[in-house]
Amino acid sequence: MPLITRFIASQLSTLPQLPKVDLSGRVYIVTGANCGIGLEIVRHLVPFRPGKIILACRNFQAGEQARAEILRQAPDVDIEVWKVDLASFASVKAFAKRCHTSLGRLDGVAMNAGMMGAAYQVTEDGHEIVTQVNALSPIYLALLLVPLLRKTLQQDISAKKPLPNPYIPRIIFTASRIAENSPTKFFDPEHPLAQLDSKEGYRKGTRYDESKLVEHSLVRHLIGVVPDLVITSTCPGFVDTPLYRDGGPAALAARAIGRSSEVGARSISHAILLLYKSVNYYADCKPYRLRIDWMNRKEGKKFGINFWKESLAVFEQSSPGLLAAAGLTS
Ligand SMILES: NC(=O)c1ccc[n+]([C@@H]2O[C@H](COP(=O)([O-])OP(=O)(O)OC[C@H]3O[C@@H](n4cnc5c(N)ncnc54)[C@H](OP(=O)(O)O)[C@@H]3O)[C@@H](O)[C@H]2O)c1
């Protein structure tokens, strides 16, 4: 079925309501939680009484506004706003350090924050900003948090805590099926990161799609090296959110046919509540086969392996010892 037909069928499908699950004592992080899909993920979790939810936001004030809004509906939920800027590895590192020192456990991370194409911009770490925010930093943060997620699993096993589903700590990425639409002909399988970071390699119109494809490629590798946690990429569908704040046809289309943020968040929340093993992709509240033939061809595989290796080298340089701590040797 062509992409457009699958897209329309998906947008028109009715997604299931979330099941009732007891999350008491469990601790969650939602990145990009101050608006759009992230805020709705938080709203989905709150009625199930989790022990704590961290709203991980780059704009602290916007996070506090979201927190106040949620507390008006559910005054006794423990919600904190912690600052993190995915355009800065130093910020990601500081956030992860705070998690390790302040949280006794971590049951799930909704790795949701993301941005649309902007004018070409390089971060303080030397990477093209959309690539860093949408792909590199979410994986970096995931790897930094793996030891805490594993510790939580071990605690529950030692305490013989009954695990619903069974409930294994998880990292759920908000990716996008738009990755199927990404051009791949400009990707350099030999030097993926250098090409993505270069000004010559940057096209504003397609960078978002490319960033979601390379994010998904990294998530697939992450699943391979962290088999004991639940990890997946999810797609919320086409959702009317501030992501399209720059206006243009996409904003108009989102307003006209986009899902509400609540419906868009359902696949992600569904995975947070119910998924019991890693799957490459999850959309419309069920496993989904992403159709990107290029990823399975020689040059796509080479790109994927090299991009993974280059990214790990960047993370290890930023946090020496990270790979060993996450149980990875290369
Ligand atoms: N809307 C869609 O149709 C759609 C479709 C597929 C996938 N997605 C994905 O869904 C996720 C959520 O997007 P959304 O649609 O809910 O858009 P949104 O309302 O714009 O939310 C994006 C969130 O990410 C945060 N963010 C952006 N850059 C950041 C940075 N450098 N550091 C930390 N946080 C940052 C934003 O913070 P600020 O408020 O401070 O900007 C905001 O909280 C994104 O990953 C997006 O790619 C969306």
CATH architecture of 20-324: 3-Layer(aba) Sandwich (3.40)
Distance CA 176, CA 250 (A): 15
pLDDT at residue number 162: 63
Dmax (CA) for the chain in angstroms is 55
For ligand 1, residues with CB inside 6 Å are 32, 34-38, 57-59, 62, 84-87, 112-115, 133, 174, 176, 235-236, 238-239, 241-243
Mean predicted confidence (pLDDT) in 25-50 = 97
Measured from the Cβ of residue 63, the count of other Cβ atoms closer than 10 Å reads 26
How does DSSP classify residue 230? E
Position 144 confidence tier, pLDDT thresholds 50, 70, 90: very high
Domain segments of the chain as ranges? 20-324
pLDDT at residue number 117: 73
pLDDT at residue number 163: 58
Distance CA 157, CA 152 (A): 9
Q: Of the residues 208, 244, 281, 288, which is catalytic?
A: 208
Output Rg (C-alpha) for the chain, integer angstroms. Answer: 19
Distance CA 305, CA 233 (A): 18
Residue 70 near residue 77 (C-beta atoms within 8 A): yes
Give nearest CA residue, ligand 1 atom 18: 243
Distance CA 317, CA 69 (A): 39
Distance CA 18, CA 319 (A): 38
Count of all residues that appear for the chain in the document = 330
pLDDT at residue number 49: 93
Atom number, ligand 1, closest to the C-alpha of residue 175: 7
Position 166 confidence tier, pLDDT thresholds 50, 70, 90: low
Our measurement of the distance from residue 103's CA atom to the centroid of its chain's CA atoms, rounded to an integer in Å, reads: 20
pLDDT at residue number 59: 97
pLDDT at residue number 111: 98
Residue 313 near residue 199 (C-beta atoms within 8 A): no
pLDDT digits (tens, 9 = 90+) for 53-76: 999 999 999 999 999 999 998 999
- Judged against a pLDDT cut of 60, whether residue 165 lies above it is answered with no
Give nearest CA residue, ligand 1 atom 19: 36
Among 30, 35, 131, 266, say which to mutate for ligand 1: greatest number of ligand atoms within 8 Å of CB: 35
pTM, to two decimals: 0.96
Separation of CA 86 and ligand 1 centre (Å): 11
